[in-house]
Amino acid sequence: MGHVITLAQQKGGSGKTTVAINLAVAFARQGASVALVDTDPQGSMGRWFMTRRDAGREDLDFSTASAWGVPYECDKLSRTHDFVIIDTPPKVDSDLRPALRESDLVLVPVAASQVDVWATEAVLELAARERRPAMVLLNRAKAGARVTAAVAEALAGLDAAQAETVLGNRVAYAEALGLGQGVLERPKGPWSAEVEALAQEILAALDGE
């Protein structure tokens, strides 16, 4: 059975979809079979996937599901894929529980603001109730900014693993998504090392579960 990774965060704008897509591309480039599941009614991941397919790239599988349809999709897809990556809407309520219950890892992106840190606590509490391991990821960070350092310190005080990798606030991520790509499929830059490092951290966390 493949691993299931859920991207979850109560606050919008944390970059869940961006992180999910770039992890999927990173794993696929390593030779893994990957399926994406979009449970967010906004449908950004679906638009990205269609743009990718129209460009002739068919290395990923894609599905949509209601919150309560996630267990069925995960059971089906994890039988035929190494990774199933679930994108969820920006909220924390009973609708998130089905995705959490299926997860081998809950990845919680946090944009560099104290408000995002506060929103993260509810996600971690829900993951803990479902007895699912969670990892917090500092995302959209501005190097050298005092707020970034303050948020990193606040995250270190939460009761959850924190990714050593930090994803920067880079235009490259948005540009790649608009083309149906991940940043690893664009010209190399600092973003390349970030995503590759994050993928390796996720693999290590899953291997140690």
Count CB atoms within 10 A of the CB of residue 141: 22
Burial of 29 (0-12, 13-18, 19+ CB in 10 A): middle
Taking the alpha carbons at both ends of the chain, their separation in whole angstroms is 14
Lowest model confidence (mean pLDDT) among 9-23, 116-130, 150-164: 150-164
Residue the block writes with tokens 């609708």? 95
- pLDDT (tens digit, 9 = 90+) per residue, 24-83? 999 999 999 999 999 999 999 999 999 999 999 999 999 999 988 999 999 999 999 999
Give the per-residue SS3 of the chain: CCEEEEECCCCCCCCHHHHHHHHHHHHHHCCCCEEEEECCCCCHHHHHHHHHHHCCCCCCEEEECCHHHHHHHHHHHHCCCCEEEEECCCCCCHHHHHHHHHCCEEEEEEECCHHHHHHHHHHHHHHHHCCCCEEEEEECECCCCHHHHHHHHHHHCCCCEECCCCCECCHHHHHHHHCCCCHHHCCCCHHHHHHHHHHHHHHHHHHCC
At residue 114, the pLDDT reads 74
* The CATH homologous superfamily of the domain defined by 3-207: P-loop containing nucleotide triphosphate hydrolases (3.40.50.300)
At residue 147, the pLDDT reads 63
- pLDDT (tens digit, 9 = 90+) per residue, 78-129? 999 999 999 999 887 788 999 999 999 999 998 867 777 778 888 999 999 9
Q: What pTM did the predictor assign? A: 0.93
Q: Give domain limits for the chain.
A: 3-207
